[in-house]
Every structure is written in C-alpha cells, then in structure tokens.
Amino acid sequence: CLQEHVKDEL
C-alpha cells in the first residue's frame, strides 16, 4: 500500500 511506501522515507 502507498502508506507503507512512504514509511521508509523522511
């Protein structure tokens, strides 16, 4: 899911 995508960002 997209939310999981951005979790490894800053």
Partner 1 sequence: MNLFRLAGDMTHLLSIVVLLLKIRTTKSCAGISLKTQELYALVFVTRYLDLFSRYVSFYNSVMKLVFLGTSFAIVWYMRYHKVVKQTYNKDEDTFKHYFLVLPSFVLALLIPHAFNTVEILWTFSIYLEAVAILPQLVLLQRSRNIDNLTGNYVFLLGGYRVLYLFNWVYRLFMEENHKMRWIRDFVEILNTAWMSGLVQTALYADFFYYYIKSWKNREKLKLTA
Interface positions with partner 1 (CB under 8 A) = 1-3, 5-6, 8-10
Q: Which contiguous run of DSSP H or E holds residue 5?
A: helix 2-7
Closest approach of partner 1 to the CB of residue 2, in Å: 5
Closest approach of partner 1 to the CB of residue 4, in Å: 9
Cα–Cα distance, 3 to 10 (Å, whole number): 13
What are the structure tokens assigned to 3, written together? 């939310």
Q: Where are the beta strands (DSSP E) in the chain?
A: none
Closest approach of partner 1 to the CB of residue 7, in Å: 8
